[in-house]
Structure 1
Amino acid sequence: MTLVIIGPVTQDLVVIGGKSTYKVGGATYFQSFVFEKFYNDYLAIVNCCDESIADEFPSRDKVKVILKDDTHFFINSYPNEDNKDYRDQLSNFVQIPILKNDLEEILPENIDGFVINPLNRYDFPTETMDYLKSFNVPIFISVQGFLRIPDVEVNGNYTIKLDTFDNLTNVLEGVSSIFLDEYEASIIGMDFDVDELVITDGSNGSRIISDNYETKINAFACDNIADATGCGDTYMAAYISRRINGYSIKHSGEFASKIASEKLTKFGHY
């Protein structure tokens, strides 16, 4: 059985304290390093215009590339080196959706679950989501990408605005777990019929709501913060790697918090 992680890979520009570095990114990319260590039976499916970008993943034979005519690009800028909870972000907002027919020939025969990582609202059309739900396996979804819309143009890229939309409830209906942060929760609310809502809040920790019961998870102290990009994606993957193996919510949240803290000390992936 295989855990299938699906979502765009990106080319990122990370700016910390005025120092700029180009690197590969995207939630599926960051998560693949966590699953490689803690849940080895996984398959990453990404969409981009350059198949060689898959060579950056921890195991090339666990990556399938859906070739499109463009690649997501993000600029993640941390103006205050001492506050990695705050960043300015720009994106090119490309429209390169992952379609049902992109997936039909490449999905494995036996699937444990899906991890869905949209980076903007165009990535997973309703038809694609309905197709994935038809497998009747757990679906873990990061909601942030569905909320992203372009705002102000800056040199060909766009600042990012988060907003809900009428069909969001239908998109999320039937998934097992939704991952979001406190600001996103304030936009869309928490009234969704899912097993778990996992709500992160940076250095303030996280909280997990299941069956109307809230479990608070403290953040692990981190004295040497190098790079916060991908930290939430790392938390999500670490949490899933435990929950899908039957560990409790509290254990899984504390494990995810620890792994996310360790990622903070590294530039790039976990």
Structure 2
Amino acid sequence: MPDAAAVRVLTLVAGSPAGPGTTLYEEVRRAARRLPVTPRSTAADELAFLRMVQPHRAPGAAEPLRLALIRLVTGVAVRRPYRRHGARYGHPMLLLVEQRGMQVAVRAGHDVVTGAHLLAAVLAMHDELVRDGRPVRPDVHRWNQAGEILAQHGATASAAVRALAGLPPADDERRLDGLPDKGWHQPKALLAAPAHGRSELGALRGASLAAFRRGDPYAGTTHLLVELLADPAGPATRLLRLLDVDPSTVRADAQGCLTGD
């Protein structure tokens, strides 16, 4: 099992402002400290830890009981609030995207995470899965096709990261009033980490609520892509235009994937 990925997944779920809370935070921090860390950790490794892609291990190999228990607790924690009123995501995938978006913002030198960073994060995770030849399971793919849709329109992670230099966060990104807040934790950024922006949280929470209202089992990257491109003047929309990709066509394709059209 990729131990670095285990540490990353456990700590991001515990520390995320959309995550399960302080009790799980302490539990996974204690578990993470006991795990040996290896330097390599890609999207495929992290998703394999959560059983969304096939892990690199022998069939029938035993899994440490503690990690299996933490995986179970994590799954329950991200699903329960979603099932009550659409808060959280109902699935760990968007937690991974949220964390990757923060990393993208840091590397871009931005002090606020925006929808553009989330879009670049989705592209980066898709590129890593393709590079490693490890697609997500079919049941996970049903609600997580954003990277594939973007790639079909010619968007790449490397081009998106370069274009971010011309998309500094807008001044109103720090205004969080009016966002869906029922059941959501007050957003908090880690020390010296970028703040959570309005377009980022609006898209993530909007994706969760949209999936809940549709009756979908959880929110995935396809729901997120629809929400990211809902604002014609939003940062994700502007990023796609910089990549010479038509945002309205991409959004229509994402909506079609959700409805099965």
Q: Taking structure 2 as the reference length, what is the TM-score of the superposition?
A: 0.31
Higher relative contact order (CA 8 A, sep 6+): 2
- Per residue, is there more helix in 1 or in 2? 2
TM-score by length of 1: 0.31
Where is the strand percentage greater, Structure 1 or Structure 2? 1
